[in-house]
Amino acid sequence: MNAFTELMGIEHPIVQGPFGGGLSTVELLGTVSDGGGLGSFGAHILDGQGIVELVTECRARTQRPFNINLWIPQPDEPTTLAAADKLRLQPFYTELGTEPPHGIFTPDYAEQLAGVLEAAPPVVSFVMGIPDAGFLAAARKRGILTLGTATTVDEAVAIEAAGMDAVVASGSDAGGHRGAFLAPVHESLVGTFSLIPQVAQSVSIPVVAAGGIADSRGVAAALLLGADAVQIGTGFLATEQSGASAVHRAALRSAGARTTVLTRLFSGRTARGIANRFVREMARYEAEVPAYPAQNALMMPIRKTAAQQGSSELLNLWSGQSAALVGSTAAAEYLAELVTGLGNQQVPAHL
């Protein structure tokens, strides 16, 4: 037990990374929570009522603590789709036999927060910013623990100053979207094992290390560097209980996963994934594609159809830099491997 496990009421210092875009499942969340870790669900595409229904479903699946994750909207996000941006992707719509979307749908953030407060999940986490003081006070009153995600030391300090309960220190090794919010992404790419000790010595709240951790050696290293727990995304994404398509899960266990890139091409927001044909053919447009959620909406038919057709070359294959180290295909067994293996590592007694 340590500061984080005691705070969260869990047995093991393992957090399952929350996946957005339909990649999370209640079954994976429940499996990890039942196993003594903290299961998570990325809920940023759900509206307020959807979040209430999700939390109800999670409570029916597990009696243990779990985490619901939200994205904080960014200033000046586009609300319409430009013809030129659709035209750029037309060859891929044609190849897959699909059509571009007619508009953009994004849930109302205020309604999402209201849904969280109504449902009162045990834990709520945020990426890409810090929720306002009013929400944090209301969450505290309802007994909801809050996690903020930092990509730099300055962001971690800001999260503590805002009164959040713990901080996820997310290194640039991590798969999926980067959550930088105090400086541009290209100025916030700190490697996980450089970020952890700096954050640990700069804040007093519990620190959760994330990014490039996929086996018990990585867990032990993170704890040795001052983290209280780790958050593992790619390893759990590769299990059968995740919402990832079969082709995505297979890609995570392939030699191709050794090469990942940071790209805006799939969503308009910088994210790490496996390099494939789409990334390479569209690389020259990295600076031209519209910001999230416009590019995300434009890519949704391509991503969905590619997954259905088993086309890994046109799919967003989110992955961290340690996919080669992922373990069992069953989430319960993978969690057990992390915990059992950790017991064999030489971790300082105070941890």
Answer whether residue 351 shows pLDDT above 60: no
**pTM (2 d.p.):** 0.95
pLDDT at 344 (0 to 100):
60
Where residue 170 falls among pLDDT bands split at 50, 70, 90?
very high
- Residues for the chain: how many in total? 351
Computed over every residue of the chain, the mean pLDDT equals 96
pLDDT for 342 equals: 75
Beta bridge partners of 126: 70, 148
> Average pLDDT in the 185-213 region?
98
> What is d(CA 247, CA 251) in angstroms, rounded to the nearest whole number?
6
Residue 220 CA to residue 342 CA, distance in Å, equals 6
- The whole-number pLDDT of residue 87 equals 98
Q: pLDDT (tens digit, 9 = 90+) per residue, 66-122?
A: 999 999 999 999 999 999 999 999 999 999 999 999 999 999 999 999 999 999 999
Share of the chain above pLDDT 70, in %: 97
Cβ distance 299 to 287 under 8 Å? no
Quote the CA–CA distance of 117 and 45 in Å, as a whole number.
17
pLDDT in tens, 37-47: 999 999 999 99
The region, left, alpha or beta by phi > 0 then psi within -120 to 50, assigned to residue 144 is beta
pLDDT the model gives residue 246: 96
* Alpha helices (H) in the chain, listed in sequence order: 3-8, 26-34, 48-61, 83-96, 109-119, 133-141, 153-161, 192-200, 216-224, 234-237, 246-252, 277-281, 294-309, 331-343
* pLDDT interval class at 3 (50, 70, 90): very high
The radius of gyration computed from the CA coordinates of the chain, to the nearest angstrom, equals 19
Q: Tens digits of per-residue pLDDT, 254-275? A: 999 999 999 999 999 999 999 9
Say yes or no to pLDDT of 347 above 60.
Answer: no
Average pLDDT of 143-158? Answer: 98
Amino acid found at 21: G
pLDDT at 1: 79
**For position 21, what pLDDT does the model report?**
86
Cα separation, 165 vs 208, whole angstroms: 11
Measured CA distances, 350 to 2, 223, 226, 228 (Å): 9, 10, 11, 11
Q: What is the pLDDT of residues 15-33, one digit of tens each?
A: 999 999 889 999 999 999 9
Q: Is the pLDDT of residue 159 over 50?
A: yes
Asked if 342 and 218 touch (Cβ cutoff 8 Å), the reply is no
DSSP letters along 317-345, please?
-B--TTGGG---SSHHHHHHHHHHHHHTS
pLDDT of residue 349: 43
Band of residue 345 on the pLDDT scale cut at 50, 70, 90? low
List the 39-42 sheet strands across, edge first: 14-16, 229-232, 207-210, 166-170, 145-150, 123-127, 66-71, 39-42
Q: Using CA atoms, how far apart are residues 40 and 250, in angstroms rounded to an integer? A: 22
